[in-house]
Amino acid sequence: MFAPARRRLAVAVALACCLSMVASVAAVPAGSAQSSADRPNPCAGTVTEPATGTTVVSVQGFEFGEDGGKRPAKLVGVGPSGEIRWVHGMAEKYDVTWGYDVDPLANGNVFVTATLPDERTLVYEFDPRTQERVWSQTFDLADTHDADLIGGGEEILIANMRNYDEETGENDDSLRVYNRTTGEFEWVWRFDDHYDPDQLEENYTDDWTHVNDVDRIGDGLYLASPRNFDQAIVVNRSTDEIAMKLGADGEKDVLNEQHNPDYLESENGTPTILVGDSENDRIAEYELAGDPTDGTDGWNRTWTLDGDLDWPRDADRLPDGDTLVTDSRNHRVAEVTPEGEVVWEVYAPWLIYDAARLQTGEHGGPTAEDLNATGTYEIDGGANLHANESRLTACHRTLENVSGWAEGQAPETTDGATGDDTTEGALAGNGDDGRATDLPESGADVDAGDETTDADNSTGVPGFAPLAALAGLFVALVGIRRRAA
């Protein structure tokens, strides 16, 4: 009911911001210096409500189109008003090819999953304040999209794909837990033991499951996303059985090659799954209504966000009831209200994979049922910058010119943490969720430091030509006025 008012507010704020930025650029005399604080930010879209903390965006690194191709993977730290705070160049620093999942830790650090050029998996804990990794681990596992710290930080939960063995004729796609102390996989759950390849549409000898996500949601309960099976499943570690299943292979109207499901519970304890229903170009929320293992009839879809979304691959429910949406092929992250109104939006070309809001945790927040917001809504109120190629290019160049903390930004201003408030690992405290735990020393498999040079940690000016900036702003301004009409 408040959507029209919020749209009018968004238009007014956007117009004011654009006019202010144009004036600030025009006021700079020719040949004079211009600080980054005076430059318009081409990566910020609609911001009518400041975010509640820093948002970390994982950029996979790929541009579609005739002149597209592979681009550097990176992490981007974005402030409450959409300002670029820092850029961590994974490709430059650690030879990362693809950037994937990023999980917030309770100490303000993030846990990163990435792929190296030889397709091995790299995971590490990254401290945004120092712009260095605390420790790292590599695995001889191909193209892992997600790994999580569990077991008090002593274990790593891994979603493992692309494991067909031509010699044995078996596919070893699996969920597995690695013990950092022993250096061994202490638990392995093979999809081949629970699914009949002859009953599935997917090619067993190729990328069979494409399991792209796994999260601990309870004691010994792991929520996984075998994307190619069009399912989100919960595996019970103690029984090795599938305890819940949402979706079914080929039932595209339920889930269609989904990404990053999140587990929620309503106030009355009803299991609920929020998921990026990627090939359906929507975010979907399902509530358990019957047999938890009946993937089609056991669940009711209670909330849907669709409209101008292109391959969304993540959705996190925030504590205030808003949803943080990763709109991958539109190169944006948007915070939307339960009614679909964009209140915060930022762009980070090219091809965003994941996003996380620090200090709020990866999972949680009320369900649509608890919010009294069930139904289908279209995303609305965004700045539509993904339709402006020059603006996306300007944003990309801005991010390319930042290495570490951006000019005018500093660790002392991050979410209450100071530059001296650094740690050697996740803080002790919360048991096996991996977000607030001690990370033990574990020998040769851990790289406790970074082999970087001063150049790796230098800060760059997030600059681009003022004329290009004005051109992007002009197009954005015209788009806003047309939508207002």
pTM score? 0.80
The whole-angstrom separation of Cα 296 and Cα 35 is 56
The predicted model gives 11-34 an average pLDDT of 37
User: 252: exposed, middle or buried (C-beta count within 10 Å: 0-12, 13-18, 19+)?
Assistant: middle
Residue 1 has pLDDT above 60, yes or no: no
The predicted model gives 280-286 an average pLDDT of 98
Which of the four pLDDT bands, split at 50, 70 and 90, describes residue 233? Answer: very high
Residues with Cβ < 8 Å from 80, sequence gap 6 or more?
A: 50, 51, 52, 53, 54
The predicted model gives 471-477 an average pLDDT of 37
pLDDT per residue as tens digits for the range 112-134: 999 999 999 999 999 999 999 99
Residue 147 has pLDDT above 90, yes or no: yes
pLDDT at 359: 72
Residue 447 has pLDDT above 90, yes or no: no
What is the residue whose two structure tokens read 């799954």? Answer: 273
The end-to-end CA distance of the chain, in Å, is 20
Stronger pLDDT, 334 or 152, i.e. the higher one: 334
The predicted model gives 354-368 an average pLDDT of 83
Spans of all domains in the chain:
3-23+36-484
What are the distances in angstroms from CA 208 to CA 173, 199, 375, 442?
Answer: 8, 13, 34, 33
Can you name the CATH fold of 3-23+36-484? Answer: Neuraminidase (2.120.10)
DSSP symbols for 377-418: EE-B----GGG-HHHHHHHHHHHHT--EEPTT--GGGBTTB-
pLDDT, mean over the chain: 82
The predicted model gives 273-288 an average pLDDT of 98
Residue 479 has pLDDT above 70, yes or no: no
Any alpha helices (H) in 90-225, and if so which ranges?
A: 90-94
pLDDT at 462: 29
Any alpha helices (H) in 142-203, and if so which ranges?
A: none
pLDDT per residue as tens digits for the range 68-96: 899 999 999 999 999 999 999 999 999 99
Stronger pLDDT, 451 or 415, i.e. the higher one: 415
The predicted model gives 212-235 an average pLDDT of 97
pLDDT at 76: 98
Stronger pLDDT, 279 or 421, i.e. the higher one: 279
DSSP character at residue 144: -
Residue 156 has pLDDT above 80, yes or no: yes
pLDDT at 290: 97
Which of the four pLDDT bands, split at 50, 70 and 90, describes residue 229? Answer: very high
- Tell me which residue of 374, 323, 372, 359 sits closest to 435, measured CA to CA: 359
Cβ–Cβ under 8 Å, residues 80 and 48: no
The predicted model gives 396-406 an average pLDDT of 97
pLDDT at 362: 56
pLDDT at 279: 98
Secondary structure element (H or E) that encloses residue 271, with its range: strand 271-277
User: 372: exposed, middle or buried (C-beta count within 10 Å: 0-12, 13-18, 19+)?
Assistant: exposed
The whole-angstrom separation of Cα 263 and Cα 275 is 9
Which of the four pLDDT bands, split at 50, 70 and 90, describes residue 40? Answer: confident
Residue 138 has pLDDT above 50, yes or no: yes
pLDDT at 154: 95
The predicted model gives 344-368 an average pLDDT of 89
What are the distances in angstroms from CA 252 to CA 127, 210, 232, 256, 300?
Answer: 40, 16, 13, 5, 15
Which of the four pLDDT bands, split at 50, 70 and 90, describes residue 67? Answer: confident
pLDDT per residue as tens digits for the range 414-446: 444 433 333 445 533 333 443 333 333 332 344
Stronger pLDDT, 246 or 440, i.e. the higher one: 246
pLDDT at 471: 36
pLDDT at 431: 38
Secondary structure element (H or E) that encloses residue 86, with its range: strand 84-88
